[in-house]
Amino acid sequence: MNTTANTPTRPDVPARALAVFLALCFLSMLFAALAGNFGNPRQNAQRTPEQTAAMPAGMENNIGMLMQRAAREPDNLNLLMELTEALVAAQSWDAAETFAKRGVTLNTQDHRPLYLLGVILHNKGQHKEAAEAFERAIAIESTAPLHYSLGVLLTYFLQDPQHGLEHFTIALNAPDADEELKQAIRRELNKRSSPAQTEKAAPAPQAAPGGQPPLSRETAQKITELEKAALRNPRDAAAWTNLGNLYFDAGMKKEAISAYERSLQLAPDDPNVLTDMGIMHRDTGNFARAIECFRKASTLNPRHENALFNQGVVFYYDLGQKEEAERAWRRLLEINPGARAPDGQPVSEMIKHLH
């Protein structure tokens, strides 16, 4: 394992109005979708004018007054956000989108217009565009509701549960996540927890983490910092590799795999990342994928000792294929005749025990 492994803050003024709106409007809308009709999610995500109830007179008057004020104060971003929220509450999606986009152009360093734009685009059925708006907002300010909302979109509307899981995890560990949101996130994570792996027939001489102990405060803080760094620079392969390595060390196997996958999308020929990802796949019981990673790593670098050693481990201890294990380990001995397992046992002795 090659280990290299900004605290999110609450939105500013008008933070309370935005938080209340998101809690009551957006999250409740997503909870309803989750609980009710994900068999056909687009049915919930888009409403036609015929499906929308008539706007109450008081709400209509309020919107009218806000529009008049916005005309007099076109550069007042807080006022623009208040108007956009009112239009969203009235389900006037097109008008809300217009004002949200104006807010985005008015201040490119404020995440609130992008957050509202994501809500609006989701309700209009434009889920990919909504996710992009949330990602842009996160790049400005990482908050638990933003990561949770993006996780829902990725999981249920964009068929990308792996990256959805990544954002659920970030949201759960974010300092601004309140207990209600944490409960919702835990329900999502519980849906995705795989059954416990059965005991191995024989212990493998490998130090890959087998469980996930409680994280220390220092590790949790470091993870938060690296998550923010990776999301701030999503095209930086090294940032995703560092995050994956820290997940690896913390025993967070699924999260490590997700981070390594993002790294490999940007730099696909890194044998070290492939080997570490293979170890994580092995530790989750996905032995075929682990072998695939190790083989690709040793193809890219025929002298990669760790890839060859772990390939033999999976073939012997997990798949019971002694001949394949011996083939991998003999290739390792050709490179390094004195190769040893992490526990100090010579690989040459391990080969003898195969017979």
165 band by pLDDT with thresholds 50, 70 and 90: confident
Say if residues 274 and 294 touch (Cβ distance below 8 Å): yes
Highest mean pLDDT among 18-32, 214-228, 246-260: 246-260
Q: What span, in angstroms and rounded, lies between the C-alpha atoms of 308 and 209?
A: 19
* CATH number among 2.40.100.10, 3.40.50.1580, 1.10.287.110, 1.25.40.10, domain 15-39+59-191: 1.25.40.10
Q: What integer is the mean pLDDT of 115-121?
A: 91
The gap between the terminal CA atoms of the chain, to the nearest Å, is 29
CA 238 to each of CA 5, 115, 223: distance values in angstroms, whole numbers, following the listed order: 10, 28, 15
Highest mean pLDDT among 29-43, 152-166, 267-281: 267-281
Q: What integer is the mean pLDDT of 139-154?
A: 88
297 band by pLDDT with thresholds 50, 70 and 90: very high
278 band by pLDDT with thresholds 50, 70 and 90: very high
CA angle 20, 17, 37 (to 5 degrees): 35
57 band by pLDDT with thresholds 50, 70 and 90: low
The yes-or-no verdict on residue 231 having pLDDT over 70 is yes
The yes-or-no verdict on residue 228 having pLDDT over 90 is no
The yes-or-no verdict on residue 130 having pLDDT over 70 is yes
Average pLDDT, the chain: 77
Q: What span, in angstroms and rounded, lies between the C-alpha atoms of 210 and 260?
A: 18
**For residue 132, which amino acid is it?**
E
pLDDT at site 329:
96
pLDDT at site 324:
95
Q: What integer is the mean pLDDT of 211-226?
A: 74
pLDDT tens by residue, 298-313: 999 999 999 999 999 9
pLDDT at site 193:
45
Say if residues 246 and 222 touch (Cβ distance below 8 Å): yes
Phi, psi for residue 323 in degrees, rounded to 5: -65, -40
pLDDT at site 171:
84
The yes-or-no verdict on residue 116 having pLDDT over 80 is yes
- Report residue 186 as tokens: 């835990």
The yes-or-no verdict on residue 42 having pLDDT over 60 is no
State the DSSP code for 269: T
Q: What integer is the mean pLDDT of 211-234?
A: 77
* CATH number among 3.90.1310.10, 1.25.40.10, 1.10.3470.10, 2.60.120.260, domain 269-352: 1.25.40.10
Helix, strand, coil % in the chain, rounded to nearest 5: 70, 0, 30
- State the residue for tokens 């990802």: 277
In the chain, what are the domain boundaries? 15-39+59-191, 269-352
Q: Which of 193-207, 263-277, 341-355 has the lowest mean pLDDT?
A: 193-207
SS3 state of residue 197: coil
The yes-or-no verdict on residue 331 having pLDDT over 90 is yes
